[in-house]
Amino acid sequence: MKNPASSAPWRLIPPMEATGEQLMAIDRWLLQQHRLGKHPPALRFYTWSPVAISLGYHQRHWPKSWENLTYLGQPVDLVRRPSGGRAVLHQGDLTYMVVTSEVTGDVTGEVKGDAPRNPRFGNRLQAYQEICQFLIQGFLSLGIHLDYGTSRQVERTKPPKENVNCFGTATVADLVLPDGAKLIGSAQLRSRDGQQTYYLQHGSIQLQPDPDLFCQVFGAEALAKIGRSDRFPPSLPRDRASLMPILINALVQAAQDCWGVKFYTQPLTEAEWAEIGC
């Protein structure tokens, strides 16, 4: 990600909570504006309210029961992401989003697993792992060791019908705890303009999911495969509200160190909200 030719700082948008439709509209707008040269690369973190299940862009199959789910008396939203992959339950998690065109293919250490290549986008896995370096370093600074998953399947164009759950498989683009539990699932949208590729990468960090809701959505067996904050070092708080500021600070610092960039912090302005239209 380090790019000596780019001296412009990245934008860090302060954490927010919003509906799934609003969050996805903002992310699409950030990518569009960056592609038009009107906005710098950006990093942001957010939570979803009400609780939502986000579907991968190409995902066409999911249980009908999801359309009638409720949580604490409120309907669970069903929202489509612009990024690929499978379904994610956004309750008790923290989502990160990166928009950039500064992926260089410079990944420290060996790139694990098969590296799918696409003539339009180059090495897809390398792009994932270059962006994910900040997650590994940020969690390591808090005493949490993460590594890539082992499944060689990275974002099929259409997820198989039998596996609708993003956290049901840990691919070599995902991050797992030492016991193999998947803590972070990531997905990308890539677009090309001439020789330049633009990336929008989403990721869900599982912190404090409600076990009953998770089992209702994905089944009891799936719950055992996910990482949670109760597996973190005892020095860290377990509840999501207390943990998130600590985690976000560590990840922002790691992003600066890994990518060699500086951030300026700026919330979305009223004019930007008007452009986004939500």
- As annotated, the active-site residues are 166
Contacts of 278 (CB under 8 A, 6+ apart): 21, 22, 25, 26
Burial label for 220, CB within 10 Å (0-12, 13-18, 19+), is exposed
Q: DSSP letters along 62-75, please?
A: --GGGGG-EETTEE
**Strand locations in the chain, DSSP E?**
10-18, 42-48, 52-55, 70-71, 74-75, 77-80, 88-90, 93-100, 117-118, 122-123, 147-148, 175-176, 182-193, 196-206, 263-265
Q: Which residue has the tokens 């990840």?
A: 251
Helix (H) or strand (E) holding 222: helix 220-223
